Structure 1
C-alpha cells in the first residue's frame, strides 16, 4: 500500500494519496490539485477516486475539479447532501483499488456526515479519519449548528462523538495507522499533537477520548474550551457541499495593477515594518510574508465571506502565490483587484515610545487581542481590555478613546492586524502596536 501524505502548514491540513497497481485515490484534497496530478504521474497511476471524509470548514477542496479533469469518481457520505456528481460511501460500502480495499465507516461527531476510511491490504490497515480522530484529540463538535445539509447542535454532536469513539473503532487492530486530516495548529480541535500519524493502539492508550469515562464527562471535556470559529468556516462548508470552481480560472480573472492607489476595504499583506512606513488609509495589515504564517486563518477571521476587498502585495512576482493562498479558503472570489503601491496617499503608523509606556502604563489604554482561551490562562497587563482579534472590527467602537491605545497579542503577528483595524475604526485616536516588544513583559 503506497500512501503519500501531503501537508499544507498554514492550515495544518493533511491530504492523502493511495496508489495500488496503477490506480490512485485522493482523500480530502486541498484547493490546488496539481500536487496530486504530479504524484499520479510519478507513480504511473490514474486517479480513479477522490474521497471527502466530510464537507470541510477550514479549507476549500478540489474534489470537483479533480473529477472534471480526470474523470475520477467522487465518494462521500450520502448524508452530506452533495450537489455535485458522487457515489454514496457509507457503512459497509467499499472501493476496490486493485490490491487495496477501501471501506467506509460512518463516524459522526465532528459533523453528522463524517466518515472514516479503512484501507486494507493483506494484514496492513490504515485509517483516514478526517476530522473525527486526531492524534491526541477528536474533532470539535460545534461547527455544524448553522451550515451544511445536516445541521446538529453541539451537544448532539458531542454525544455522537462519544458513540463513535466507544463503538466504531472497536474491531480494528491496534497496529492500524491513523492518518488524520489535521495536526497541531488547526482550529478543528483544541489539543492536537504535532505528530502527523499514530497507531490506533497508541491512541487507545494516550488519547483522552479513549479513556474510560462517563458520557457526561466525555461531552463536557469535548465541549469545554474549544477555540473561536473563524468567519469563513460556514462559507467553506457550503462551497465544499457544492464543489469549488476551477482554481486557475478563478485566479486568472482578477485584475492586477502596479504602482497605484485604492479606497475602501484593503488587505495589505506586507511585512509590518513596511506597512507602518506607508500604507493606504483603510488598510488592514494581515501579513503573508512567510510561507507558514497563519494568513488564511486570520484573513478568514477578520474579513467576512463575500466582503469585497483590494489586495496590496509587495512584489508582482508574488501575485499568483498570494492568490493561491486566498483560494485555499475560497476568498479569491472577493478580491476586487491586486495592486502594488505608488508613493501617493500613504499614511504612516506612529511608533510607540516604549520607555514611556514602561514607566507610565496607566497613561495608555491597553487592548489585549489574544483569543479568550489564551487570556483565560493569564494576562500580561492587569488592566488590559479584552478584545479578541476575530471580534475586533465589531467591538472596536466600545474601546475608550480618552487615552492613546496600545495593542498587543502574544508575539506580534496579530497585533499588527489589530492596531491597523483600530486605526480605521477609531479615526483620529493615537493607536500603537506593541508588536514583538510584548516579549519584554512576559514573566
Structure 2
C-alpha cells in the first residue's frame, strides 16, 4: 500500500481497502463488490472520519453506487469497536460478530449484533461471501473472515493470527492451546500457503510464511 492509497487488493470482482487508526494501529478493512457496489467493513475500530474516507476512496471501485451492507467485527475487544456505535448511528447498517462475543460487544458499545456467527458459516451480502472461522482463545467468540476469489484467498484474522505468532491469550495455557489448535486446524489445514493473512494490527503475511513456525510457537507457549 502506498502512502497515498488505501487500496491493498484489486481483484477482478472485489477491492479491499485499509485504514490504520488510533495509537493502537488498528487495521480497518473495507471490501467492495465491483458488480453490485455492496460493501462489508471489518472492524469499526476508531476514528469515524477515517472510515468515511475509506468509503470516499471506494466510490469509484464499483460500476454502480457503493453502499455499506454489513459491519463485521472480528472480536469484542474495545480497540476494535470504538467507532462501531457511531458508524451504526450514521448508516443504520446491520452488524455481525461471533456469537460468544455478542454480549461483550454490547457491553463495550451498546450495539446489539444483528447476525451472530459460528464456525463453518457464511456471511453474505450482494456480491460478497465471507467464510466465518471461529478461533477460540484470544476471545471466546473471535471470528476470522475469509474471502476467496479465483486463485486468491484473503484471511481477515483479527487478533488471532499475526506475522510471527498467534494472538494474546492472557498467559493462559488453556487459551493458548485452544487458539493455536484452532488456527492450525481451521486456517493452516483448510487453506493453501498462498493465502494472505490480513491481521487486526500490523502488516500482512501468508500462511506459507508462518507455517514452518507452528512447532516453535507451540513449544514456546505464546
Structure number with larger C-alpha Rg: 1
Match of 1:171 in 2: 190
* CA-to-aligned-CA distance 1:294-352 (integer Å, 9 cap, x gap): xxxxxxxxxxxxxxxxxxxxxxxxxxxxxxxxxxxxxxxxxxxxxxxxxxxxxxxxxxx
Secondary structure, aligned partner of 1:40: helix
Matched, 1:54 2:54: no
Q: Cα 1:59–1:121, aligned 2, differ >3 Å: closer, same or farther?
A: closer
CA distance in 2 between partners of 1:18 and 1:174 (Å): 22
Match of 2:50 in 1: 35
Contact 1:101–1:121 (CA under 8 A) maintained in structure 2: no
- Cα deviation, residue 61, structure 1: 2.3
| Equivalent of residue 125 in structure 1, options 116, 134, 153 | 153
- Cα deviation, residue 163, structure 1: 1.1
| Equivalent of residue 203 in structure 1, options 184, 187, 210 | 210
- Higher RCO (Cα < 8 Å, 6 or more apart): 2
Matched, 1:70 2:98: no
* CA-to-aligned-CA distance 1:22-79 (integer Å, 9 cap, x gap): 1111111222222222322342411111111111244552122222221211100111
Matches for 1:180-329 after TM superposition, within 5 Å: 180-183=199-202, 196-205=203-212, 208=213, 210-211=214-215, 218=218, 220-222=220-222
CA distance in 1 between partners of 2:84 and 2:116 (Å): 14
CA distance in 1 between partners of 2:145 and 2:29 (Å): 11
CA distance in 2 between partners of 1:175 and 1:131 (Å): 20
| Equivalent of residue 80 in structure 1, options 101, 122, 134 | 101
Secondary structure, aligned partner of 1:14: strand
Relative to its length, the structure with more strand (as a share) is: 2
Contact 2:102–2:116 (CA under 8 A) maintained in structure 1: no
Match of 1:282 in 2: none
Structure 2 length as normaliser, TM-score?
Answer: 0.78
Q: Cα 1:109–1:219, aligned 2, differ >3 Å: closer, same or farther?
A: farther
Q: Cα 1:97–1:177, aligned 2, differ >3 Å: closer, same or farther?
A: farther
**Structure 2 segments unaligned to the other structure (5+ residues):** 1-13, 60-64
Contact 1:100–1:121 (CA under 8 A) maintained in structure 2: no
* CA-to-aligned-CA distance 1:168-201 (integer Å, 9 cap, x gap): 1111122111100012xxxxxxxxxxxx111111
CA distance in 1 between partners of 2:205 and 2:102 (Å): 31
Contact 1:108–1:157 (CA under 8 A) maintained in structure 2: yes
Q: Cα 1:161–1:118, aligned 2, differ >3 Å: closer, same or farther?
A: same
Contact 1:91–1:104 (CA under 8 A) maintained in structure 2: yes
